[in-house]
Amino acid sequence: MSKKLIQEKEEEEIFGDTLTTGSTSKDSSERRSSINYRDQSGTEDPFSSSSRRSCPKWESYTVFQKYDEEMFFLDRISAQKLQETESIRSIQACPRSMSDRIVHRLSTKNEWSSDFHHNPYHELEAAYVAQICLTWEALNWNYKYFQRLRASRRDLDPGCPALTAQQFQQFQVLVQRYIENEPYENGRRPEIYARVRRLAPKLLQVPEYRDYLEEKREEGVSSRISSNSFLEVMEEAIRTFMNFLKADRENHCQIFAALLRRNLRGSVDATLVLLQKKVNKKKKAKLNELRRSCLRKRILGADEEMEILMALIDVKVVSRVLRMKDLNDEQLHWCENKMSKVKVSDGKLQRDSSPLFFPAH
């Protein structure tokens, strides 16, 4: 499916309340109105090794240009596939004669078995998984970027714009609200998420960290908070995101159904998927053991605790990708590369936090 020039701007409503504080990022809507997708423009991916830049401002621009572009495109897919999924469910739920039910069941089964990719729920799930992967890359990048920025300013802490901190608090509040409300919603996680995000476009939409001291301001000096306070805001957002991932669990019926469908896992060899799941599980066990060991020795500082948590989120995100009903070779390769960035050796964690964007399409 070719991408089109995006002309629409992001909606501002959030559940109809007053939580919104303006655009998540000033540049986000500007970028969305001028984005040409890669398959149309033919330009090089800004994340290729030949096009990386050392300038922090350029790096921030390319990261969030990519992020906004992909999230917006996936929103459109989610809306379409949610509608198709709900239409199929309503047809299946409608009263009909026994003969009609049998004909519908057989025709649906034959269609999906002959072309696995035509199941709209699988495509809806793929869009949801892609968005949580993209969100984690953006959230992780913001946190690491601000850590580097703070380290370079140890002699003088200029703090962080209060508006930026408020945007990250808003991100955390929306995710927490989703976690609390989800048990009362009908449907599976990808369906519920797509419905809620359609009403609240800022759900899982990571704001871009921008220090307005470094930019031209037409208005007066904005209020600021300390760097330590802002880090606490970001860390709380990261913890809440982990809780969001933990709440995305399969029930017993879904696990059993997945076992029955193990031969219908897209174009990927089921043996390779199983192998990657074992690697993923082993790495998770090592990370948990490292955290327990540090706690016993009382050598687990705040920075080390966050680094282990972020590595566990890496593992959790990969685990969710591996649960997808429709997984392709490129996405499986992404899982392998993502896990290669997390290593535990001699009681120490080595984690590469550079962005690795999920191949959504």
pLDDT tens for each residue of 103-154: 556 555 554 444 444 789 999 999 999 999 999 999 999 999 998 888 887 7
Q: Are residues 74 and 200 located together in one domain of the fold?
A: yes
CA 155, distance to chain mean position in Å, is: 35
Quick one: average pLDDT of 252-276? 66
Most confident of 41-45, 224-228, 243-247: 243-247
Confidence of residue 25 (pLDDT cuts 50, 70, 90): very low
Q: What is the pLDDT of residue 224?
A: 86
Q: What percentage of the chain reaches a pLDDT higher than 90? A: 46
Q: Are residues 32 and 135 located together in one domain of the fold?
A: yes
71-89 per-position pLDDT tens digit: 999 999 999 999 988 887 7
Q: Is residue 67 part of a domain?
A: yes
CA distances from 246 to 181, 187, 241, 328 (A): 15, 17, 9, 24
Higher pLDDT, 36 or 103: 103
Q: Are residues 96 and 199 located together in one domain of the fold?
A: yes
119-133, 224-238, 246-260, 331-345: the lowest-pLDDT one: 246-260
Q: Is residue 214 part of a domain?
A: no
Quick one: average pLDDT of 19-40? 44
Q: What is the pLDDT of residue 230?
A: 94
Number of domains in the chain: 2
Q: Say what the pTM is.
A: 0.77
pLDDT at 315 over 70: yes
Q: Is residue 229 part of a domain?
A: no
Confidence of residue 45 (pLDDT cuts 50, 70, 90): very low
Q: Are residues 73 and 198 located together in one domain of the fold?
A: yes
Quick one: average pLDDT of 283-302? 84
Q: Are residues 59 and 195 located together in one domain of the fold?
A: yes
Q: Are residues 36 and 98 located together in one domain of the fold?
A: yes
Q: Are residues 200 and 287 located together in one domain of the fold?
A: no
Q: Is residue 242 part of a domain?
A: no
Q: Is residue 309 part of a domain?
A: yes
pLDDT at 21 over 80: no
Q: Are residues 198 and 286 located together in one domain of the fold?
A: no
Domain span at residue 315 reads 259-351
pLDDT at 95 over 90: no
pLDDT at 348 over 70: yes
pLDDT at 96 over 60: no
CA distances from 289 to 303, 339, 351 (A): 17, 17, 16
Q: Is residue 266 part of a domain?
A: yes
pLDDT at 170 over 70: yes
Q: Are residues 77 and 197 located together in one domain of the fold?
A: yes
Q: Are residues 200 and 59 located together in one domain of the fold?
A: yes
Q: Are residues 201 and 264 located together in one domain of the fold?
A: no
Q: What is the pLDDT of residue 89?
A: 72
Q: Are residues 65 and 195 located together in one domain of the fold?
A: yes
Q: Is residue 267 part of a domain?
A: yes
Q: Is residue 250 part of a domain?
A: no
